[in-house]
Structure 1
């Protein structure tokens, strides 16, 4: 065993420098393992940025070569909180804060490491809204548990080595604890980063790195325990090649959130930060709020509305250091989610993607030349839409969302899909009947922007509505509906309530045609009562002579029918 070094503030600075060097060396390796919570290949980068910020703060708060243990430890913690990047960086900042809270003696000893790791575990547990096993948090807890076995008088070299070895052992178990890791066949990226940092501590206090067998970072992939029917067979690469899938702890679906938002909060207190956490829980996920022990906080959240997340911080105190990044745009810029463009005979031709529900509707859109993305059983995710756009291999793609995605979601997909070789144009179709109207005027011989304009204009000129059965009692603009009532909607607003669905359908048709119209398209749903289509067609011919009726059996769930009036 190498002789122990003087355990004052200089050993903490040495630890930080060694950790930075270790993360620099293994940054890309850590990034390649990154599949949770968002597979954006930046965990190694985030840890490195955070550790560099911590090291840089020594000069600002303490000065290089400072011997005072607590002074250096506090500087590391403040720098890490202020410069934290991503989930993993915020958690790392709490490891350093735990050490700072435990640094109450003139020397770095076993008590410092043992208490520091335990406090770090508690701080992280309090900071993370939803803990998931098999992550950096699990690895940290195992390291703390190992250090807790040693009394104060134990040599720090032994304690540090035991903590690092326990972390390494815990890392190897992460694929069996978190399904998304096991499916990808990798260990947790953040956990590996923490092992690198704890190994750096061993190096700093002993003068040499730990002597252990290399850790197997890749393991045999296992089949997911559950399978959901995918709307379309969109091929997805192995997560290390850039799959973008995240919808919560299981990470089996596409991303629920568009943005990562981080900022610092000053001039606040625990109560207001607790209120901020509650607000952010309603806006997104992956929420981590940590303090630096000196009155400053770092806030991290994944969400779809970055502006709302920032506004929430304004109510908590003085915010600064705001950073907002888009997962899809970052993935595009890193070369993720953009498989090589495949050469096909129709490479230069324009493609159309339509989001559709129902077998009949899918056949109808496909017969008009659209590539169909099904949304029957689950909402379409941004990753699925982006994936099918890329798989088409077309230089120009028109998207008919048909009301299945929000404008914000569509803009995010468009930004990620568009580059120098690809033009993606979004059409404002709020329902499938508007999508059918736009397809009717599609002309591939026109310029893409002209074609998109003409199709959007046709969709906008189509008034649309739907007929449904009320599932629960609700108050609407036209009164209160009861379960089982037929309700007719014009766009998204209820305009008809009738105890009988057929009667509601007749009234809906009359109200919609009251503003005029020459053609009514009825797209019948899978739950439509038998004979409803002929009943409404007869009603239209009797009450609105001269109006043409087109009936299609879409088979979509939910709506008894969609109708479009042109």
Structure 2
């Protein structure tokens, strides 16, 4: 079955109407789930009212408004009519959709961008976001949508990925929030947000919302080799079918015809797209043998580092690096999800605050992965921890060994403002630190340091690594 590649104003309007109908129908159900932050049983009512206000604003539009106009009206109506905490969250989601639809098109990329932006807006709007609530479900959906879009997914594929990730995250909210666990319920706001996603998927598929499967997906369809001779715009065909499979080869007979070869688990969509794009002949299908299963890495180490030479140093040591910033939590989770690893060790390196650490730890529950934080307070202690990581050891043992290495290292910095030379400052700090013992000095430096002279003066081994973006001249570690 074919699905629209983008949503126009009419379809966005229809989605909003579906969402109002579904939220209204499930109002009592969602109200009954409402036990956090206070059990006032109004989340379902608030979200339904907010969505009704958004739809009412759209229905004030005249003519045939495009997607940008409809999305803008949804945002304005929801912000003005937002009721309760859950309504405010919903309004920020619709505001993000409007921002991403500003060019008049709502496709898979627009949905992915809107969900990522919604995470940022909601995180900013709530003074103290709590994991195990709607923010967790929203973030999981955003990460999945972004990953799918980056892989060339269609609108339908992006929204499907978001729905599936949202369901998993919602099911895991009781493991993140004790009050939900004690009440035996999932988060009410997360449930309401999932209704938005499910009604969007239903609108794209042209089905009733209740027909959306709520069970684990069936085994994937077999991989098929699809070959055919094609006449028409070859570049357009390549653009349209490349997201539908792999091993795509187009052997061109001339500028407008050629034989096409692709492996796909969605052969029907490939064939339908080809016929809709040009002329197809000599169509052949063959079931491919199952590909050998390549196991995902059992464990990944994610390090938060500034971009540049120090990030490259961490990569060479085997870590996945993420730059600090406003959306660092989402980017960490995106890396975790795309790695498909069973275990995660995070090196914060003093670049994450407590709130961000809590958000990452609890949000990883949505992906059902084992998560451990090694307390690295500086970049240099992160390097010490990473240097002793044993990928074959159980994660608890590996994290313990890494923590020992990190906490055994004493650290200091040379600030950007100082009296005298950098070498003199480094030498003086190192002498003070070595007075209580130590055999090695590690320097992360954004400026040149005479390592041989320093090693000779101190009488210990000195290792120096270039590091830009530190926020200070030199970072020193003694062990």
> Under a length normalisation based on structure 2, what TM-score does the superposition of the two structures give?
0.43
More helix by percentage: 2
> Of the two, which has the highest radius of gyration?
1
